Amino acid sequence: MSVPPPLAAVMWMSFMVAQWPWLEHQALIFKYLKAGLSVPLDLLLPIYKSLQLMSSHPSMGYYGKNSWKRLPI
């Protein structure tokens, strides 16, 4: 009889399986950049589309380089 893995291990493995294609995609882009070649548009479009989706969620957006500064009280 085999003992099932702990829940945390199962969750970690499912995270890795779900993220693996995206990691391979980023690695391929990095290889182009490292070789000094221009990255093909079909590799950049999924990233561009995901950034467009994020822009509809202000809590996940980019607030600029000085976003960490606090407002004066």
Give the predicted TM-score (pTM) of the model: 0.53
- Bigger pLDDT: 22 or 31? 31
Q: How far apart are CA 43 and CA 32, in angstroms?
A: 10
Burial 17-45 (b: 16+ CB within 10 A, else e): eeeeeeeeeeeeeeeeeeeeeeeeeeeee
How far apart CA 15 and CA 5 sit, in angstroms, is: 15
Contact (Cβ atoms closer than 8 angstroms) between residue 39 and residue 32: yes
47: its two tokens: 């990233």
pLDDT in tens, 24-54: 999 999 999 999 999 999 999 988 887 777 7
Q: Which two tokens stand for residue 68?
A: 């960490």
